[in-house]
Amino acid sequence: MKQSGVFIPAAETSNNCLADQLLTQSGYVQETSEGMYAYFPLAGKVLENIKRVIREEMESARVLEVDLPYEQFEHATGKSDEMILLSFIAQEVISSEQLPISVFHIKQNVRHARNPIQDSGLLYAKEYSLISGYSFHTDTIEAKENGEALLSVFSTIANRIGIPYQVIKSENEKGRTEYEFIAFSECGKETFAHSTNSSYVSKANLAEAVREELEESKKLKKAEKISGHGKGIGPLADSLGLDCSQTIQAFLYDINSEPVLILIRGDHELNELKLEKVFGTSTIILLDSKDMKKMLGVELKTIGPVQLPFGLPVYADFGVSSIVNGICGANEKDTFLLNVNPDRDFAVDHYVDIRLVKEGESSPDGNGTLTFRQGVTFARIIEPEPVFNKINVPNKESLEILTGYYYMDLTRLFAATAEHFSDSLGLKWPIQLAPYDIHLLIEDTRDEHQQQLADEIHSVMNGYRYRVLFDDRNVSPDSKRKTSNQLGVPVKIVVGDEAANGMVEVTYRMMGEAVSMRKEEVTEKLQEFFRTE
């Protein structure tokens, strides 16, 4: 393919995300309006290569592709993809022996975000391409086994594409097991905690906090009431020379319409997401000063775990249990309790993990410390909830069907992969994803020797069925080399001043090394390169 006939509209972008910069400057995509993108021929080729990998691996696992109505159909009819598929299963399946059935389809989706993420680029595009899949089962064991099989399929897909990834196992808000595939990216809006010495990784807001041991050797002092002198617990502790880790912060919450006192160490931050998981609800409300005054008869800054109303449950983070001779509110006006010790001076009903972890803490698996990185989730496998859809089979007993769900954000995968396969010069696609195998450059289109040799190499490469992009444009050699580096085609062949001697320059983009060789050597060297790669 001659480059003069390929639409490659390179442009600049003000977006700070690396993937957007790489793909826009090289003419793969352009943002047409906020969060909306146009995909040009080179992007289409890369996306098709990614889809090819996905289709091959899905089919090898007997997960077959279907094509379902556009999303607007669901809005018009009220029928979801799952409902449509279940209706077909009801027509075709006559016994449980025909199950499980697993299918997927590729569709354009629109991200309906309540709070749109600004300046986040292609990773969070409003319109995106989604691999959406469903599996149908008659029992939970079979469904779980299918989820594990899909986990292997998704891992193979990511490995073949070449993107580094991590898998996080967690529970969603419905208590169902989820496997999330994440890729690290500076433009990712999710923060992940991972170990410096192991494969441990978790969303930072769900990472388990390591419990600190109580220093038994420390002498417990007698608790005493002290005046706050109008200060809150933090400033008061500072004036007394106490570290913030010796302070106990108290919060009064309404959880499932019942008051609960929550305690956390002063140097820690309360994690409401963990709190929701502890109580199995998202209905948690932090009570304000007015409610607190009404319930405890005390102002906000002197609330504490002592002299509490009978029956008020107390939940404390594990970190509170390690406090020795600390300080807390005394539930009296401008009064605090100094040298307070948990379990001796106040009761805790339950110790739980309800704090955010911090960078540099020990990893929960005991290997290394935690470090934070930004990233995105590009795929998700959700195990079925234990709720069966009942379908009526003609002339048979009705079947109860479990549905599993799995998704892969193709647009996000494309952007994250582009970011990974790049350097300061531009993109550097691996062979399995590249839009072309070879980028053939002629430095001077007016030079007869160069033109003849370039045409000869172009013909030979086409004969070997290599996908060749032939830069025949009448621009400077430097401009052609710069463009080639930005496009990221695996092999660059430059026909230049040595053409009369039958010599060309071959550069392998991934490695960056340029080698001069005779035209007779090119075919053999390329066969060796593409075979080993």
Residue that is written with structure tokens 């008020």 in the block: 312
Among 98-107, 295-304, 469-478, which is the least confidently predicted range? Answer: 295-304
Per-residue pLDDT for 321 more than 50? yes
Distance CA 352, CA 200 (A): 21
Q: Averaged over 352-371, what is the pLDDT? A: 95
- pLDDT above 70 for 299: no
Per residue in 143-171, pLDDT tens? 888 889 999 999 999 999 999 999 998 87
d(C-alpha 450, C-alpha 162), whole Å: 36
More confident residue, 302 or 182: 182
Of 34-48, 86-100, 244-258, least confident by mean pLDDT is 86-100
| Average pLDDT, integer, range 297-323 | 87
| Domains in the chain: boundaries | 10-207+372-419, 224-352, 436-532
User: Which CA distances in Å does 463 have to 28, 456, 459, 466?
Assistant: 27, 11, 6, 8
Q: How far apart are CA 364 and CA 168, in angstroms?
A: 14
Confidence of residue 295 (pLDDT cuts 50, 70, 90): confident
Residue 78: pLDDT band by 50, 70, 90 thresholds? very low
Q: Does residue 142 have a pLDDT over 90?
A: no
* pTM of the predicted model as reported, rounded to 2 decimal places: 0.86
Alpha carbon distance, N-terminus to C-terminus of the chain? 23
For the ranges 70-84, 112-126, 245-259, 356-370, the lowest mean pLDDT is seen at 70-84
CA distances from 247 to 251, 336, 416, 504 (A): 13, 11, 43, 72
Average the pLDDT over 214-227 and give the result. Answer: 82
Specify the pLDDT at position 403: 84
Q: Give the separation between CA 164 and CA 512, rounded to whole angstroms.
A: 21
Token pair listed for 269:
């931050």
Pairing verdict, β 491-495 and 438-442: parallel
What local confidence, expressed as pLDDT, does residue 76 receive? 43
Q: H or E segment at 144?
A: helix 140-161
Percentage of the chain beyond pLDDT 90 is: 68
Confidence class of residue 358 from pLDDT cuts 50, 70 and 90? Answer: very high
| pLDDT tops 70 at residue 256 | yes
Higher pLDDT, 48 or 212: 48
In the block, tokens 């994803």 appear at 433
User: Quick one: pLDDT band at residue 308, thresholds 50, 70, 90?
Assistant: confident
- CA torsion sign for 227, 232, 238, 241 is positive
Q: Is the pLDDT of residue 396 over 80?
A: no
CATH of 10-207+372-419, one of 3.40.50.300, 3.30.930.10, 2.50.20.10, 2.60.40.10: 3.30.930.10
pLDDT, position 307: 84
Percent above pLDDT 70 for the chain? 89
Higher pLDDT, 23 or 132: 23
CATH of 224-352, one of 3.40.1190.20, 3.30.930.10, 3.40.50.2000, 3.90.960.10: 3.90.960.10
Fold assignment, 436-532: Rossmann fold (3.40.50)
